[in-house]
């Protein structure tokens, strides 16, 4: 039973780490990254639709994204959605494709983005710790069915899992900070 609880906790902690990693992908760096457009929703014929379902996104140069809509009539709607998003980018349209040029980040903006990344990472760490707390409570509830020693060993393994997942998040933070500080 403890192994089942640990397997479930591992799966939930993995989800938390993947969520943090996906959130990091939406943070704009000085490089073109199609991942920042994952949260952009386009009003397509009255229905909010993810941008990825309406267009192909290419990275021909490190500082440029090219968005090619499948339907030419959606170019204006995609342009409006990108302008309305919190990306701070202004697309250039020629009627068939949109180009997003990523200007280099200034030092102040880099520091703000690093703070944002650290905040996202802390949210991820809290999620991992919450999984640990719930799993530990479930283990303690089993104390009558299994021996106290087994519960203690399970809690020690749970702490190792928690430490491992928090270290993964910290590793992702360091990588993203290095990416942000890169000129």
Transcribe 89-151 into DSSP letters: ---EE-SS-EEEE-PPPPHHHHHHHHHHHHHHHHHHHHHHHHHHHHHHHHHHHGGGTS-HHHH
The predicted-structure confidence for 146-164, as pLDDT tens digits, reads as follows 888 888 999 999 999 999 9
Q: What is the DSSP letter of 70?
A: S
**Over 90: is that where the pLDDT of 36 sits?**
no
Domain 2-25+106-181 has CATH 1.10.579.10: no
The predicted-structure confidence for 83-126, as pLDDT tens digits, reads as follows 888 777 888 988 889 998 887 778 888 888 899 999 999 999 99
Structure tokens, 139: 């283990």
CATH class of 34-101: alpha beta
Residues in the chain: 183
Total-model pTM: 0.73
Domain residue extents for the chain = 2-25+106-181, 34-101
Residue entry with tokens 């809690």: 155
The predicted-structure confidence for 48-87, as pLDDT tens digits, reads as follows 999 899 999 998 888 888 999 998 888 999 999 988 887 7
Q: Whole-angstrom Cα distance, residue 1 to residue 154? A: 10
Q: Whole-angstrom Cα distance, residue 176 to residue 165? A: 17
37: how many CB neighbours lie within 10 A of its CB? 22
Q: Whole-angstrom Cα distance, residue 140 to residue 101? A: 55
**Over 80: is that where the pLDDT of 26 sits?**
no
Phi, psi of 3 (to 5 degrees): -60, -40
Q: What is the DSSP letter of 30?
A: S
pLDDT at 183: 62
């Amino acid at each position: 039973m403890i192994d089942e609880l640990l397997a479930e906790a591992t799966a939930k902690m993995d989800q938390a780490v993947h969520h943090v990693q996906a959130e990091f992908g939406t943070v704009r760096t000085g490089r073109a990254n199609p991942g920042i457009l994952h949260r952009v929703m386009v009003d397509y014929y009255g229905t909010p639709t993810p941008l990825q379902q309406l267009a192909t996104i290419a990275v021909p140069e490190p500082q440029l994204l090219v968005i090619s809509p499948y339907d030419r009539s959606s170019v204006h709607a995609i342009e409006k959605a990108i302008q309305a998003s919190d990306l701070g980018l202004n697309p250039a349209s020629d009627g068939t494709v949109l180009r997003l040029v990523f200007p280099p980040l200034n030092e102040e903006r880099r520091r703000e983005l690093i703070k944002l990344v650290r905040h996202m990472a802390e949210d991820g760490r809290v999620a991992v710790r919450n999984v640990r707390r719930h799993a530990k409570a479930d283990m303690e509830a089993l104390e009558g069915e299994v021996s106290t020693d087994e519960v203690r060993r399970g809690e020690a393994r749970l702490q190792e899992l928690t430490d491992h997942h928090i270290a993964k998040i910290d590793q992702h933070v360091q990588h993203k900070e290095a990416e942000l500080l890169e000129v």
